[in-house]
Amino acid sequence: MTALATPPVTGRPAGSSPHLLRWLLRLHRPALLAWTVFVLVLGGLLLWVGGPLTEGAVEGWKQYHACETGGCAYDPSAVGRHKDWYMYTTFAVIGVPVLIAAWSGATLTSRELEHGTAQLAWTQSVSPARWLAAKLAVPAVLVAVGSGLLVGLHHWAWSTGQGRLDSAKSWYDVGTYAANGPATAAMALAALVIGALFGLLKRNSLGSLVGSLCGTGLLWSVMAIATPHLWPTVTKFSSLKNDVPQGSGIIVDQGLVTSTGAHVADPHCGGSGFASCQARYTELDAVGYYNDYHPQSHYWPLQLTATAIILAVTALLALAAFRLLRRQTGPSAPARKAAAV
């Protein structure tokens, strides 16, 4: 691998942390302002969804149920408006890691290496390792605070409709589950580091952008597949008189259980009250349904376990980024010695 040339250090004193922080904030001011506006606008929308929109939808459902016994009319627009804006804000919260990955991959490290501003910083008695640490630490704080706030507000907006709205999403709805928990905030931090790592690898904005988006998408997909298996499931057995296995939550596996206790695939025939279905179940020696799933009590164990894994992966990726930068720039000891002289 071709090493990045580290320009000779000038004789000026070592750059102070406040000076480096001001430089980073000035350099990324547009992104900082855009992120602040995004968080404020989306946060305001979530407050609107969980407040006035939810109350309006609750009243709309009350009118609907009142009309079930009479010939009155009701306005369904409040219910539809709540459903639409809940969906929009959910997608926006879920999309935070993608936005962070796109920005980080396109600008955080790659653009400065491409344009030479990183090398300029190294001439100001800022070592490559310290430069990268500052590049990651400052956005990480902003990303953690902003994404954490959005996730918390989304969870609140969702909870205000529970037990009050017939159209409220269940806790295990794919979008709701993702937007409600800290794993999405942890994924935003992972996206930041993935983008920085690809910026060091590719050293050009387009290649880093593509790589960071693909890397974030891969990690997200792996975690989505692995999450149901991060905690022991609950198994519920139910009668064949039901049309489907009983038990609601995140389904891991379900089917038929035989008289010997073996699990076989469910032919999805229906309840045993149908003669054809009863004959099919008799042929399979089925005596009931089984359902391996996660009830609502498993929500936080699943979320926190997934969050811990994502943060551990993020730490490993950050370590890989520092090791890669050291390989590219070489030992920084000579630079520190020159700075001292």
Tell me what pLDDT residue 70 has.
64
Query: Please, what's the b/e burial string for 14-39 (b: 16 or more CB within 10 A of its CB; e: otherwise)?
Result: ebeeeebeebbeebbeebbeebeeeb
Asked whether the beta carbons of 103 and 28 are under 8 A apart, the reply is: no
**For residue 83, how many C-alpha atoms fall within 13 Å in the half-sphere facing its CB?**
13
pLDDT of residue 336: 44
pLDDT of residue 311: 97
d(CA 283, CA 3): 69
Residue owning tokens 């269940």: 170
Quick one: tokens of 263? 């699990």
Taking only the tens place, the pLDDT of each residue in 238-275 is 998 888 899 889 999 999 999 998 999 888 888 878 88
**pLDDT for the residue numbered 10:** 43
Per residue in 154-181, pLDDT tens? Answer: 999 999 999 888 888 999 999 999 999 9
Place of tokens 């551990």: 312
Q: Which amino acid is at 99?
A: L
Distance CA 208, CA 40 (A): 28
Comparing CA positions, the residue from 179, 175, 172 lying closest to residue 155 is: 179
